[in-house]
Structures are given as C-alpha cells and as structure tokens.
C-alpha cells in the first residue's frame, strides 16, 4: 500500500510539472505569435511615417504598406519627392526593391536581409518579416530584473541553428494582461545589447490593441533613432492579388 501511495504521489507530481511546463511553453508561444502578427492579419493596410534621425540630419518618409499573412508585404514610399515611388516587395523568402530614378528592379539576396532599409535603423527583415519568432527562433519565458516586473512577461528568443540571423538573442517584454509588447532588446554575438525597440501609444483598432508608435534605437550609434508612426491601420480587408506582384513595383 505504501508503495502504491508513493507511486501515485510520483505520478501526480510528474503530471503537475509536465502540465506547468506545457503551460509556460504555451504562454511563450502565444507571446511570440502575437508579436509576429502585431501589424498583420489575413490582410492589412497601413499608412505610416518613418522619421530617421542622426546627429547631423533628420528626414521623414511617408509610405503605404500592404500585407497578406506573414508571406507577403508591399511598401511604397509616397514622399519626400526625391524618394517617391521607391517600392519594396516580399513574397515568401524573396524580396525586391524598385528604384524609379533608374527604372530598375533589384532582387535583394538573403545576405542583405539584415541590412538597413532606406538608411534607417530598421533592417529589411524588420520591415518585411522574412524571419519570424515562431519559425526561426527557439524561445522561452525568463526572469528579468526590472521595476514592476510582476506585470510583464519576458521572453528570450535565440535563432535556430543554421538560420542567417545576426543577433545572438532577442529579449522581449510584454504586458501580462494583453501580450502587448513594451520593448525588444537585441544582443550581438558577444552578448551585448546593441539596439532597443520600444512600443508606445497603444490604440484600439476595431477590436485590436496596437502600439501606433515604434522606436528603434541603435545603442552603438549615438544620436541615431528611427521612429515609425502609424497614421492609419486596417485589418482583414479585401486586397487585389495584383498588389503583391513585380508589375506593381513600377506603378506610381
């Protein structure tokens, strides 16, 4: 009888620990999925300003952005005049830029996905999402020392082996009650934080809470910052399939 009691106690503890582990994994997966799809849905459209600041100059781009799931993205710059008509298309793991001044479409190789988009502090991948947390990272909940940390979850995301991502890891902070991101910290191969991405000005778009201001701050480039402000956001709207095409890159 004693053996049976111990056995049942062992099974109960094993079940609880396993259930707890699954619960933690599910929370981490829900968080990264939410962040992957933050500005995306079945379809989406947005109008946004990108403000690029350096110690010597500042410029603002106005752009239209269309997405379909995680696979397709189309971006067209509306202003300033010298950049008007520049467009970016991403389908699956392929990406192209269109330069109207030379009337040329350039295919972007995978090796350039971590390069700057339009001279900003955002990379090509930040804008078009070739790599996603769910598919390309291993992730887990971690403890993180910060004020009011009891109100936040913290997730550590490490690139899967063989994936061409320059970050050694990314740490994310989200609110516990709604999984809305607060910040993301990007680490280099030496384990140093090299850039901060901050989310703010959360607004309700229909039934969806979305940060409408995103700041990217490169910590090793003093005085540099890029801010994206969403002026308009629409989700699950009808889009023409022709939007996500090479022919559409040349249209103004």
Evaluate if residue 12 carries a pLDDT over 60.
no
pLDDT at residue 147, as a whole number: 60
Q: Which DSSP helix (H) or strand (E) runs through 4?
A: helix 2-36
Domain 25-249: state its class.
Answer: mainly beta
Q: What is the pTM of this model?
A: 0.86
Q: Which DSSP helix (H) or strand (E) runs through 31?
A: helix 2-36
For the chain, percent of residues with pLDDT exceeding 90: 77
Q: Report how far residue 250's alpha carbon sits from residue 246's, in angstroms, rounded to the nearest whole number.
A: 8
pLDDT in tens, 204-231: 998 899 999 999 999 999 999 999 999 9
Q: Report how far residue 211's alpha carbon sits from residue 200's, in angstroms, rounded to the nearest whole number.
A: 5
Evaluate if residue 19 carries a pLDDT over 70.
no
Q: Report how far residue 4's alpha carbon sits from residue 10's, in angstroms, rounded to the nearest whole number.
A: 10
pLDDT in tens, 158-209: 999 988 899 999 999 999 999 999 999 999 999 999 999 999 999 999 889 9
pLDDT at residue 91, as a whole number: 96
Evaluate if residue 7 carries a pLDDT over 60.
no
Mean pLDDT of 120-128: 94
Q: Report how far residue 110's alpha carbon sits from residue 80's, in angstroms, rounded to the nearest whole number.
A: 28
């Amino acid at each position: 009888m004693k053996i049976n009691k111990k056995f049942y106690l062992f099974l109960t503890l094993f079940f609880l620990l396993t259930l707890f582990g699954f619960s933690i994994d599910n929370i981490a997966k829900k968080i990264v999925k939410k962040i992957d799809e933050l500005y995306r849905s079945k379809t989406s459209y947005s109008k946004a300003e990108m403000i690029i600041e350096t110690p010597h100059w500042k410029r603002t781009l106005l752009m239209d952005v269309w997405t379909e799931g995680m696979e397709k993205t189309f971006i067209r710059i509306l202003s300033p005049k010298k950049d008007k008509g520049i467009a970016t298309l991403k389908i699956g793991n392929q990406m192209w830029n269109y330069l109207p001044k030379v009337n040329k479409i350039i295919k972007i190789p995978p090796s350039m996905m971590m390069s700057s988009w339009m001279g900003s502090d955002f990379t090509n991948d930040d804008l078009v999402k070739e790599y996603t947390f769910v598919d390309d990272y291993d992730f887990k909940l971690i403890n993180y020392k910060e004020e009011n940390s009891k109100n936040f979850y913290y997730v550590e995301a490490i690139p899967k082996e063989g994936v061409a991502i320059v970050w050694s890891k990314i740490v994310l902070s989200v609110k516990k009650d709604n999984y809305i991101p607060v910040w993301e910290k990007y680490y280099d191969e030496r384990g140093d934080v090299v850039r901060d991405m901050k989310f703010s000005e959360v607004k309700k778009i229909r039934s969806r809470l979305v940060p409408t201001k995103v700041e990217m701050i490169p910590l090793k480039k003093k005085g540099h910052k890029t801010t994206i402000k969403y002026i308009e956001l629409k989700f699950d709207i009808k889009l023409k399939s022709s939007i996500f095409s090479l022919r559409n890159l040349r249209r103004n």
